[in-house]
Amino acid sequence: MALEFTDSNFESDVLKSDKLSVVDFWAEWCGPCRAIGPVIEELSKEYSGKVNIGKVNVDNNPQVSTTYGITSIPAILFIKNGQVVDKMVGAQPKSNFVKKIESHK
Phi and psi angles of residue 51, each rounded to the nearest 5 degrees, phi first: -135, 135
Using alpha carbons only, how large is the chain's radius of gyration in Å?
12
Strands (E), the chain: 3-4, 21-26, 52-57, 75-80, 83-89
Among candidate residues 22, 33, 39, 43, the one labeled active-site is 33
Among candidate residues 2, 14, 30, 51, the one labeled active-site is 30
Could you give the C-alpha distances from 104 to 8, 21, 57, 71, in angstroms and in order? 25, 10, 24, 24
93 is catalytic: no
77 is catalytic: no
Q: Which residues carry out catalysis?
A: 30, 33
